[in-house]
A and B are shown apart, each in its own frame.
Chain A
């Protein structure tokens, strides 16, 4: 995950040498006064990105953290600066698991954890399996690859609305197949309310998410030298052994980033549950982002909503930190 390589450290020095010694540089005297310009140039290049990140991500995040310490109900929203300080009240409400608000948040959090682990696991498994299956060339491979990427390319709302149609009770495909055609269920099930909604959401999430894993693993596989496989085959290693001894270890650095990115995206996903269930999701599929949205915009209590978001961010920071520490150590150990 560290893109700045050692190479870059020597760049400006080399560049300066080239300029001094080359006749080309002498032809361009107006460029020489630029010691300050040369030092300033990288910062100038980064400026637009920095300003935008500040405006859209960092400043709002700081304001969000400040807001989480305020009693920000609809009476103060026009001029949020005047809202009274609430000290830790918003946090106390959020983590008081005996009271309704805290309990609902905890339930939603647990649902989100279960959902995220299952979804990321399945996405990774299917994506990796498909990428390994398509490592050698065969007729129709290009077409198949394009087909597999369609769920990823479809806009979220178009894909999710189609699934909502398929999950309809009376006129959906899922009930038609399971009940009318296969007779697996005694009567048509409800998929978008009640406990089934968890599996409906998981199905959509995996359908939409696995092609990303496929794409990344496929790209990672192309960096494994073919000679490794040939050497292993000469030594008598079978297909399974080659996958276990060569493919999976070579993919480890790719997987480290891939699993983390999938985890963060799935955990924070708002689009899929929101298009599927609207503003209030059924309890079994009440993902935390929609839950917080609901707590903020439906109840108009932005202080508590912000406190919940900050807790969520803290959780993600800890998970990411621990994950990176563990996987990096493992990588170092396996290199030694």
Chain B
């Protein structure tokens, strides 16, 4: 299927046959590399336990949906799922709103310290997570002791942490995107009596929807997949999927078919969302980040 020669309008530089063949072989190999683990995940999740404990087999001896029923009782997957949804959802909404405000300020105003702000925010990407894991843990515990706001072990603490992880990239990408929205549009809105925030929400935001969607997808994926802070900052009731999924292999038997089924179940929401919205991500990157 890959690389059937183009049927689009013949360009003046029709690629030579050698290039077409190289491309065909390369893309086929790459597709194999990419899809084998996906195939293993799907096929193993439909196998009986005997098929995944013995020698690997490409095809199941029989198809069964039992792993999909068992995953919910082997570990409290439902609870982990709800926790992950709450944490990633809230972190995404907050992160996007905050990034929109910041990017608007940087894109539309000149003010003292602008460059310091953008450089500082971007440079936080450089910090090894391990450097601020323990201090952050201590800060959350102390805030809890001093004010009674439970950040450590709670979903709130995790939401707060995760939203800052996606913030730098989101701000950076939205600045580029907002810069590409013609300034005349918000000036017209200001003339019509909108305040600066009115101009932002009635003109700039609607024009930058693809960029905002892209940033939201990124923020959700970041929060949904994080392991380090989730493993330290959650307890039994607030545990997220990233940590909870390890529960299947600490038992005596390793239920590989259930692990694969659970991995598939937790992947479907993000992968489906990502693939539906990936057009926006590419458009957003093209207009913003890589310009």
Contact = CB atoms under 8 A, between A and B. Distances in A.
Partners in one complex: yes
Interface of A: 1-5, 7-12, 14-15, 18-19, 22, 24-25, 27-28, 31, 39, 41-43, 45-46, 48-50, 52-53, 55-61, 63-64, 67, 80, 126, 129-130, 133-134, 136-140, 143-159, 161-163, 165-166, 170-173, 175-176, 180, 207, 215-216, 218-220, 222-223, 229-230, 232-234, 238-239, 242, 253-254, 257, 261, 264, 268, 270-271, 274-275, 288-289, 292-293, 296-297, 302, 305-306, 309-310, 312-313, 316-317, 320
Given A42-B105, A171-B54, A313-B131, A320 B34 contact: no
Contact of B266 (A133, A136, A155): A155
Nearest to B30: A130
B160 to A, nearest CB: 7
Contact of A61 (B53, B109, B132): B132
B245 A171 contact: no
B275 A162 contact: no
Contacts, number: 343
Contact of B8 (A31, A130, A137): A137
A49 B167 contact: yes
A296 B275 contact: no
A41 B19 CA distance: 55
Contacts of A139: 1, 4, 7
B26 interface: yes
Interface in B186-234: 187, 190-193, 195-196, 221, 224-228, 231-232
B148 interface: no
B139 A59 contact: yes
B134 to A, nearest CB: 6
Nearest to A144: B2
Contacts of A274: 227-228, 231
Interface string B173-189: 00110010001000100
Nearest to A63: B135
B102 A61 contact: no
B286 interface: yes
A270 B138 contact: no
Contacts of A170: 55
Interface of B: 1-8, 11-13, 15-16, 19, 23, 26-27, 30-31, 33-38, 40-41, 44, 52-56, 98-99, 101-102, 104-111, 114-115, 117-118, 120-122, 124-136, 138-139, 160-161, 163-164, 167, 171-172, 175-176, 179, 183, 187, 190-193, 195-196, 221, 224-228, 231-232, 241-242, 245-246, 256, 259-260, 263-264, 266-267, 270-271, 274-275, 278, 281-282, 285-286, 289-291
A136 B20 CA distance: 11
A148 B106 CA distance: 34
A134 B38 CA distance: 22
For the residues of B in contact with A, the DSSP-based class is helix
B111 A43 contact: yes
B114 A4 contact: yes
A64 B101 contact: no
Given A153-B271, A165-B260, A313-B128, A148 B34 contact: yes
